[in-house]
Chains A and B, each alone.
Chain A
Amino acid sequence: MFVGPFLLGLGVFTYIPLGWSVYLSFFDAHNTVTPSDFVGLGNYTAMLKNEAFTDSLSTFLVFSLLIVPATYALSLALALMVNRQRRAQAFFRSVFFLPAACSYVVAALIWKMSLFSGVRFGLANTVLGWFGGDQIAWLSTTDPPWYWAVIVTVRLWLQAGFYMVLFLAGLQRISPTLYEAAAVDGARPGWQVFRYITFPQLRATSVAVVLLLVINAFQAFDEFYNLLSDARGYPPYARPPLVYLYYTALGQGQNLGLGSAGAVLLALIIAVVTVGQAKWFGLGRKEAQ
C-alpha cells in the first residue's frame, strides 16, 4: 500500500523501457517498436564505427574537461567567500542560487540573442569594444571555437549556485575545534588553513560534486540544442551524445534500433565512469571522522 504504487510505476516507466531498449538495440528497427529483423550486435558495431557517434563522445570529453573544473572552482570559491561573510550572507547566497530557477531554454535565449549575439550588437562584444578588442562572431565560427565560451558560461551560471549550496553544507559540518587546533599550532589563516584543514575536510563533498558534475555533463542537451540549432538544423560539430541520439532516434531516420544501441552504450559508459570514479575516490568509505 505504501511502496507498491511507486514501485509499480518505477517498473513500468524505468525498468521496462530499459529492458525494451536493450531488446531494440539487437534489431533493425526503423520507424517501428516491434521489429522482426534480428541483427545481433550489428547496431553496436555500426555505432562504434560511426564517426558522428564517436565525435559526439569527444565533444562530451571537451565539454566536461571545461565545465567540471570551472564549476568546481567557482562554486567552491563562492561557498568559501559566502560562508565567511557575516552580513548579508543570505542575500549573496540567494543571488548566486537564483539562476538555478532559470531554465536552460531561457538562459540559452539570453546568451544567444543578447549576451553573445552577432558581431555588432550584444553585450559581450560591446564590452570587448570598450577595451579596444575585436568583435567576435561567437556562435558562427568554428575556428577558433568561440562557441565553447558561450556553452560553458551558460551552464556555469545556471549550476554554480547549486553546488555552492552543497559546499556550504559541507563547510558548516567542519568542527570549529579543528580551526582552533590549527591556530594553536601556528597555521596562518588563509591559504595554510585552507590547504591543511578546510580542503581535506571537504573531501566527501568534493567527490560527490565532481560525480554529479560529470553525470550531468553526460546528459547535456538543452543548452546545446537551443544555442546551436536554428531553422536550418543543427551543425555537425559540437553535438554531444544525447543530441546525437535525439536526432538518430527521433529525427528523419527514426532509427530506434541504432538509437537504442547508442543509449545502451552511453548508459554503460556512464556506469563505468561513475563506479570507477567512486572506487577511485573511495566513496562510501566513511573517513576522516
Chain B
Amino acid sequence: MRDDSRVRAGRALRLALLIALALLFLIPFYLLVRNGLAAESDITSPEWTFFPSSLHWGNVRELFGDTSVPYARSLLNSALIAVATTLGTLLLASLAGYGLARIPYRHANKVFYAILGTLMVPAAVTFVPSFVLVSSLGWISTLRGLVVPTLFSAFACFVFRQYFLGFPGELEDAARVDGLGYWRTYWRVVVPNSRPVFAAVGTIVFIGAWNSFLWPLVIGQDRNAWTVQVALSSFTTSQVVRLHELFIAAAVSIVPLLVVFLFFQRWIVAGVERSGIDD
C-alpha cells in the first residue's frame, strides 16, 4: 500500500518535471513567433512582457516588401539547394550503398573503408581546400558550387549499405529468376520496397541542407546566391533590417522544416536509430 503511493508520487513527480522541461524547450519557439508578430517597440521595450501589446500580421508583408533585403530570393535559393541536395544525395548514396551491399567484387571492403574513413574527417575541416577547389572551378556564388560538393555523403551511403545488407534477398531472387539484371532489379524491386529508409535519410539530408551555414557563407558571396541562413546571419550583424522583420524572417525560415519534420518525424527517429552508430 505504502509502496503503491510512493510509486504513484514518483510518477507524478516525473511527469511534472517532464512538463516543466517541455515548456522550457518550447520557449525559444514562442519567442520567435512572439517577436515576429510584435511591433519593434515591443521587442526592445525595457519592460519585457510575455504577450506583445498587439499582433502585427502585416510584418510578413513588410518583410517581403522590403527591397533592401533579398529575402524572397534567399528562400528560393535555399529551397532549390535543399531539394537538389536531397534528391542527388538519395540517388548517389543509395546506388553506392546497394552496390557495396549486394554486388560482389574484390575490393568491396577496401572501398567501403575508404568511404567510411571520410566520416572521420570532419567536413568542416576541409572547407579551406574545398573552397580553393570550387573557386578554381569558377563555381563561387553558383548553385553548382553550393550543391555539387555536398552530394557525396558518406553518412547516407553508410546508412543505405547497412539497410540493404538487411534487405530480404528472396525478393531480389524472384526478380533474378524473371531475368532482370542488377540495375532493373534495383529500380523495380528494391527501391519501391525501401521507402521508409529513403524517407528517413531524405529528411535528415533536407534538414541539414536547409540549415547548413558555413559552406553557403563561404561559397555564396554574391547577394543573389545567399541562402536563407546566410541572409539571416548578415541581417543579424548589420543594421539594415529592423528587429521585427528579422524575427518574422527567421520564423518564416523554419516553417518548411517544421512541416517536413512533423510529417516525417517517425522516420527520422527510425533513421537515427537504424544508422547503427552505437553498434
Contacts and interface: CB of A to CB of B under 8 A. Distances in A.
A96 B118 contact: no
Contacts of A100: 207
A112 B98 CA distance: 45
Given A5-B92, A7-B96, A165-B272, A231 B125 contact: no
B126 A6 contact: no
The majority secondary structure among interface residues of chain B is helix
A102 interface: yes
Interface in B215-257: 218, 229, 232-233, 236-239, 243, 246-247, 250, 253-254, 257
A136 to B, nearest CB: 14
A21 interface: yes
A1 B229 CA distance: 36
A216 B32 CA distance: 26
B177 interface: no
A106 B250 contact: yes
Size range of the interface on A?
35 or more
Nearest to A271: B120
Interface stretch (B60-68, B151-159, B192-200): B151-159
B48 A249 contact: no
A94 B149 contact: no
A209 interface: yes
Nearest to A121: B48
Contact of A169 (B45, B122, B273): B273
A212 B277 CA distance: 10
B33 to A, nearest CB: 10
A222 B216 CA distance: 12
B53 to A, nearest CB: 14
Contacts of B182: 2
Contacts of B27: 115, 123
Given A2-B96, A157-B28, A209-B278, A242 B22 contact: no
Given A33-B136, A108-B236, A204-B278, A92 B129 contact: no
Interface string A114-133: 11000011110110000000
Given A98-B25, A170-B278, A18 B126 contact: yes
B229 to A, nearest CB: 5
Contact of B278 (A96, A208, A246): A208
A114 B103 CA distance: 54
A91 B15 CA distance: 12
Contacts, number: 254
A18 B121 contact: yes
B48 A102 contact: no
Contact of A114 (B43, B130, B278): B43
A179 interface: no
Given A109-B250, A123-B31, A231-B239, A3 B121 contact: no
Given A110-B31, A123-B31, A208 B277 contact: yes
Interface string B41-66: 00111111000000000000000000
Interface string A72-111: 0000001001101100000011111111111111111111
Nearest to A203: B278
B77 interface: no
Contacts of A229: 237
Interface of B: 14-15, 17-18, 21-22, 25-29, 31-32, 35, 43-48, 92-93, 95-96, 98-100, 103, 111, 115, 118, 120-133, 135-136, 148-149, 151-152, 154, 157, 182-183, 186, 207, 210-211, 213-214, 218, 229, 232-233, 236-239, 243, 246-247, 250, 253-254, 257-258, 260-262, 265, 268-269, 272-273, 277-279
15 contacts: A2-B96, A2-B100, A7-B115, A9-B92, A103-B211, A105-B233, A110-B31, A112-B236, A114-B35, A165-B269, A204-B279, A208-B277, A208-B278, A215-B122, A250-B128
